[in-house]
Structure 1
Amino acid sequence: MKGSRRTTLPAGLAAALTLTLSACGVPPSDVIEAGEPASVVRHPTPEPSVPVVASLYFLDDGALTAYPRDIGDPADLGSVVAQLFRGPTTGEAATAITELPRLTDTPGVTADGGNRVSIKLPQGVAPLSHPAMLQLACTVAHASGPFAAPPADAQRDAAPTAPPVDAQRSPAHTSVRVLGDGWTLTQSADSCPDLGQP
């Protein structure tokens, strides 16, 4: 009894639906095959990026001091240097000062594939002080990640451009060459704090 009621109920609904549609002027039709049911293609969810922390060197009561800074992902040496030139954050400024000037344009950063990094500054920047050069050398020595390609105009005066490569250099043997408007300074990182000698 129950089985027959289940069979007649859908048939009754179908008849009622047919009557309703024909009353509205819709002619009855046979079942139309529409193919396979719709499916959803799921793409793998990308892994969330892990922020990269770099040590930016500022001066705390005259002493070079590392300040950890989240620089995003992926990290590149160009963005580390750019953040260093922006100076201490509001929170860091309670103890940190910088000898580096604020720049109007992003500096060009190149590497020779070894331990030497060149930084091309925009026009009009005066020669950097010794503490400022140490800030750059120590920050670069502690940084890791791919080197950023330099701007096209920086390639004329800078060292030969190497393609972006992972930092495979000895931190203690890193040297930074800064190219200004009519001047060049070089600073090694051998006197930076917290550098393990090989």
Structure 2
Amino acid sequence: MKRTRLAALVTGLTAALALTACGVPPSGVIEAGEAATGMSSPAPRSARPTLVSLYFLEDGRLRAYARKATAPASVQDAVRMLFAGPNVDERATVTTELPLLKIGPQVKAKSGSAVYVLLPEEATPFSHTAMLQLACTVSGVDVTLAALPSTAVIGGTGGSSEPPPATDPGSPARTVHAVGNGWSRAQTAGSCPEAAR
């Protein structure tokens, strides 16, 4: 019987100690603000539109037209928009000397000072005015954002897949090279009209 009493006594003492909680007095509900809900992630940022100047012809003269693009717009984006031509509203008064291509051109920027536009097989050599349209459009885009690694091979059905020669990586885009099947043209953007705002 001693064992039973001893076991009951130990159990009773353990329960009493647990109920007293080491001398912490009982309290009511303590208000401490909103309940925790876990970590919240920031809301995704929507891409802000930016303006890109595309150069078309109005009464035979080069003129910049603004287009909205997702920021930051790449040279590839600007070139594709340029080759798409004037929009529906502009077609009555605005023209282009660039051809409408079945396959879009590819753009390669080995450095910040030279941009290569690789054209599909169907493209014929561009006129001086078409080259100015291309050079002026490209000159308004930050080429360093669109630079590709020198090992990238971009081609399609025409042009060259060889990387262009190295140039100064920090300088602005000065020369655009249009490369077609068996032909190449280069143009600087030295005489471009003011960009569209």
Question: Which of structures 1 and 2 has the larger relative contact order (alpha carbons within 8 angstroms, sep 6+)?
Answer: 2
User: 2-side partners of 1:192 and 1:84: how far apart?
Assistant: 15
In the TM superposition, residue 75 of structure 1 has moved relative to its aligned partner by: 1.2
> How far is 1:84 from its partner?
0.2
Aligned identity (percent) is 39
Most deviating of 153-162 and 135-144? 153-162
List per-residue Cα deviations over 1:23-56 (Å, max 9, x = no partner): xxxxxxxxxxxxxx88354211123321011000
Closer, same or farther in 2 for the Cα pair 1:73/1:61, shift >3 Å? same
Q: Offset at 1:161?
A: 6.1
Distance change in 2, residues 1:127/1:81 (3 Å): same
State the AA in 2 paired with 1:160.
P
Report the TM-score, using the length of structure 2 for normalisation. 0.68
> What TM-score results when the alignment is normalised by the length of structure 1?
0.68
Partner residue, 1:147: 146
Query: Matched residues in 1 for 2:161 and 2:57: separation?
Result: 28
Distance change (3 Å), C-alpha of 1:152 and 1:176? closer
Q: Tell me if the contact between 1:108 and 1:151 (Cα under 8 Å) persists in the aligned partners.
A: no
Gaps of at least 5 residues in structure 1 are 1-36
State the shift of 1:194 in Å.
Answer: 2.6
Q: Which residue of 1 aligns with 2:175?
A: 175
Cα pair 1:76 1:147 within 8 Å, conserved: yes
CA root-mean-square deviation: 2.7
2:88 matched to 1:86? no
Aligned length: 153
**Distance (Å, rounded) in 1 between the aligned partners of 2:187 and 2:110:** 15
Asked if the contact 2:111/2:147 (under 8 Å) is kept, the reply is no
Aligned to 1:49: 47
